[in-house]
Amino acid sequence: MSDTPRKRSLETGRRYPGSTLFGLLCGTATVLCVTALVGLLATVVAEGAPWLSTTLLTSFSSRKPELAGILGSLMGSLWLISITTLICVPIGVGAAIYLEEYAANSWWKRLVQLNIANLAGVPSIVYGILGLGLFVRTLGLGRSVLAGALTLALVVLPIVILAAQEALRAVPPSIRQASYALGATRWQTVWRQVLPAALPGVMTGVILAIARALGEAAPLVAVGAATYVAFVPYSVHDEFSALPLQIFDWASRPQEEFHGLASAAILVLLVVLVMLNAGAVYVRLKYGRRIKW
Amino acid sequence: MLAGLVGCGPAAPSIKIDGSSTVYPLSEAVAEEFTRSGARVNVTVGQSGTGGGFKKFSALEIDLCDASRPIKPDEAKRCVAAGLDYLELVVAYDGIAIVVHPDNDWCAELSVDQLAAIWRPDGPVRRWNELDPAWPDHEIRLYGPGTDSGTFDYFTEEIVGEPRSCRPDFTASEDDNVLVTGISKDRHALGYFGFAYYEENAERLGLVGVKPTDDAAAVLPSLETIRSNAYTPLSRPLLVYVGRPVLERSVGLEFVRFYLANAGGLATEVGYVPVPTEIAEKNLQKLNRALTATVEPTPKVGASSLSEVPRS
């Protein structure tokens, strides 16, 4: 309402018309993104909300829409992301610590670094084919939860490594120097100073990676996950389905009712994702506050 | 190595089915009913296509393979190379009916070429009198299943010659009842959908015979012509290939028997034509012959009881 800022912006506008235009374009881009997102969410909620029920969460897939639920695929997805996390966090964070804290800046490190960055951009279906050849056939794991989780771990490992490296790099060198100055060994420095300081960043990366794993369908199709699975996997050797596969199957069915069910399943997937992200925010707040430099 | 570390529960007995997405609804229905009947077994059904299914079948990754066409020689060779002995069972038929309004007294038969001229993307035929000058000078209004349905894939593949290639300006609905209602109210309509839906609504619709070539005799779809494959090219058998290993597990054999016993009723429910009794009996004979072939040549009493299942 006040006069001065508007007046100033008008003056800049007069002197640099390109600036106003650019600002407008960027604003339009933002509005477009938000509108698309809100529109998408509104459609999914409108279509899926009538189908949200306890039946959806407590029963298995069925050819009859009124009996169909996502118990099998939701549990399959939870199994998958749990095992994927167990596999990719130690390996990914370990690799990041090695590259940031231990490896000398040699051609070897640069080569590895370049490859990790490239691997992060490889389409996930490629990992799916690799998983089918390596885990399902060569290692004989079959179309099991373990084979699916190992494949997903491959997909998200580069993301975890890059995010963890970023977080480790953000820890100021002065922390390390102070630690060394007090006589700490490299192990003590990394384990007690650098890693706790980097933890919020690492966790954010891990959560993003898990969210990615949760939404992947292509590598699981390649590995050979089934679409009709009427049981909760009991061990890592059991077969499984996953939420994205269930959603895809329902969305491509001819009957209208299954499209509503697909939307409801998308809502459940979104809730799981929001919960994961809330976890990341919590970790950042809880551990981030303790660190001051 | 990792397998040993991460988890080691006893894997529940499982039956893995994969293959044709056309047979999928039937196998899914059977699996669902089998699980509901209280069997303690994990049945999974995938849909990676007939070819993809046979690849997994010959790699011994699945127990049953759904197929919308018979196994090809090279696929059979791969099974033999893998030491996989299998049974071929006909579980249902898929037939497409070409339908018109019941008062349509001009169009009783169409050839595949005529249908293609109507349905293909650059199809030149837009009006009835373009097929025959004696027919009404009126636009042909087209009805058909939506692009998500297997019927659409099958029809376009057989008629247009290329799967999923079709002119876009037809009334599409995934709900066959919408198609039936639309066609039954539109004197100039022409449409197609699964034969099972025609049968349910036969009195509201007119049926069109199909000539495989321009000078062949037209054949009307019926249970008999679909089963005998006389109604060609719009009918095909749906098959399930059963690997020998699954028959040697009691729960596997129980499932295959359940499949054969219930395929008829469930086929109608999911929109396919059930197999006639002769074929059903032939399936059972094939199964029993395969079973007796695995046992020692000692004569058996009550060979059909489940406790008699041979184990290797």
Mean pLDDT of B54-69: 91
Query: Does the pLDDT of residue B148 top 70, yes or no?
Result: yes
Task: Judge: A236–B18 Cβ closer than 8 Å, yes or no.
Answer: no
Would you say residue B6 has pLDDT above 70? Answer: no
Give the Cα separation of A152 and A217 in Å (integer). Answer: 10
**Terminal-to-terminal C-alpha distance of chain B:** 29
Q: What is the pLDDT of residue A113?
A: 93
- pLDDT for residue B156: 92
Pair A121, A182 in one domain = yes
Phi and psi of A281, rounded to 5°? -65, -40
Are A172 and A36 in a shared domain? no
Query: Is the distance from CB of A260 to CB of A50 less than 8 angstroms?
Result: yes
Assigned domain for A92 exists: yes
Q: How many CB atoms lie within 10 A of CB B162?
A: 11
Contacting residues of A for B270, CB less than 8 Å apart: 63
pLDDT higher than threshold 50 for residue B188: yes
In a domain, A21, yes or no: yes
Q: How far apart are CA A83 and CA B169, in angstroms?
A: 49
Q: Do B35 and A136 touch (CB under 8 A)?
A: no
Q: Does B59 touch chain A (CB under 8 A)?
A: yes
Nearest by CB: A239 against B7, B25, B42: B42
Q: Is the pLDDT of residue B311 over 50?
A: no
| Domain B95-235 annotated CATH 3.40.190.10 | yes
The verdict on B18 touching A (C-beta cutoff 8 Å) is: yes
Do A38 and A79 have their domain in common?
no
DSSP state of B156: I
Asked whether residue A220 is assigned to any structural domain, the reply reads yes
> Own/partner pairs for B260-268, CB < 8 Å, 24+ apart?
B260/B89, B260/B91, B260/B284, B260/B287, B262/B30, B262/B33, B263/B26, B263/B30, B263/B91, B263/B92, B264/B92, B266/B26, B266/B29, B266/B30, B266/B33, B267/B26, B267/B91, B267/B92, B268/B196
Mean per-residue pLDDT, B238-252: 92
Whether residue A61 sits in one domain with residue A27: no
Is A152 in the same domain as A216?
Answer: yes
DSSP string, A224-272: T--SEE-S---STTSB---HHHHHHHHHTSSSHHHHHHHHHHHHHHHHH
Same domain, A145 and A39: no
Q: What is the C-alpha separation between B98 and A149, in angstroms, rounded? A: 47
Q: What pLDDT is stored for residue A20 in this prediction? A: 85
**pLDDT(B20) > 50:** yes
The chain-wide mean pLDDT, for chain B, equals 85
SS3 B94: strand
Residues 6+ away with beta carbon under 8 Å from B240: B23, B27, B64, B65, B66, B67, B88, B89, B91, B259
Q: Do B61 and A143 touch (CB under 8 A)?
A: yes
Tokens matching residue B82: 């893998």
**If you average pLDDT over residues B289-299, what whole number do you get?**
63
Residue A291: is its pLDDT beyond 80? no
ipTM > 0.95 (yes/no): no
From chain A, the residues in CB contact with B9 under 8 A are 234-235, 237-238
Residue A210 and residue A237 share a domain = yes
CB-CB neighbours of A52 under 10 Å: 18
The per-residue pLDDT for A128 is 93
Please give the DSSP secondary-structure letter assigned to residue A139.
S
CB nearest A254 (choices: B11, B35, B174) = B174
- Calculate what percentage of chain B has a pLDDT beyond 90: 49
A226 touches chain B (CB under 8 A): yes
Domain final residue, candidates A36, A51, A66? A51
The residue among A35, A51, A67 that closes a domain is: A51
Q: Across chain B, which distance is largest between two alpha carbons, in Å?
A: 78
The total domain count for chain A is: 2
pLDDT at A290: 64
In the stretch 243-262 of chain A, residues with CB closer than 8 A to chain B read 249, 252-256
Q: Is B66 helix (H, G, I), strand (E, B) or coil?
A: strand
Contact residues for B157 (Cβ-Cβ < 8 A; gap 6+): B163, B164
Q: Is residue B159 pLDDT above 80, yes or no?
A: yes
Q: Which CATH number characterizes residue A216's domain?
A: 1.10.3720.10
Does B56 lie at the interface with A, CB-CB under 8 angstroms?
Answer: yes
Same structural domain, A20 and A156? no
**pLDDT tens digits, residue range A118-144?**
999 999 999 999 999 999 989 988 889
pTM surpassing 0.80? no
DSSP code of B140? P
**Would the CB atoms of A227 and B47 count as touching at under 8 Å?**
yes
Contact at CB, B2 and A238, closer than 8 angstroms: no
Q: How far is A177 from chain B (nearest CA, A)?
A: 39
CA B103-B108-B111 angle, to 5 degrees, is 140
Q: In sequence order, what are the beta bridge partners of B17?
A: B45, B64
When pLDDT is cut at 50, 70 and 90, the band that residue B33 belongs to is very high
- Work out the percent of chain B whose per-residue pLDDT is above 70: 90
Residue A79 belongs to domain spanning? 56-288
The most confident of the ranges A231-235, A264-268, B301-305 is: A264-268
State whether A185 and A283 are in the same domain.
yes
Q: Which chain B residues are Cβ-neighbours of A245 within 8 angstroms? A: none
pLDDT of B80? 93
- Which residue from B6, B11, B148 is facing A253, i.e. has the nearest CB? B148
Average pLDDT, chain A: 89
**How many of the other CB atoms lie within 10 Å of CB of A38?**
10
Asked if residue A38 and residue A13 are part of one domain, the reply reads yes
A221 at the B interface (CB within 8 A)? yes
The pLDDT, as a whole number, for residue B189 is 94
Q: Is the pLDDT of residue B296 over 50?
A: no
In this structure, is residue A90 part of a structural domain?
Answer: yes
Query: For B91-138, how does the pLDDT look when each residue is reduced to its tens digit (9 = 90+)?
Result: 999 889 999 999 999 999 999 999 999 999 988 899 999 999 999 999
Q: What is the mean pLDDT of residues A223-249?
A: 89
A105 touches chain B (CB under 8 A): no
What is the spatial distance between Cα B136 and Cα B128, in angstroms, rounded to a whole number? 6
Say how many CB pairs under 8 Å bridge A and B.
98
CATH architecture of the domain formed by B12-93+236-308:
3-Layer(aba) Sandwich (3.40)
A293 in a structural domain = no
For residue B35 the two structure tokens come to 């699980």
So where are chain B's domains? 12-93+236-308, 95-235
Picking from A207, A280, A245, the residue whose alpha carbon sits closest to that of residue A75 is: A245
Give the pLDDT confidence of B201-226 residue by residue, as tens digits: 888 899 999 999 888 899 999 988 99
A33 and A64 part of one domain: no
Residues A81 and A37 in one domain: no
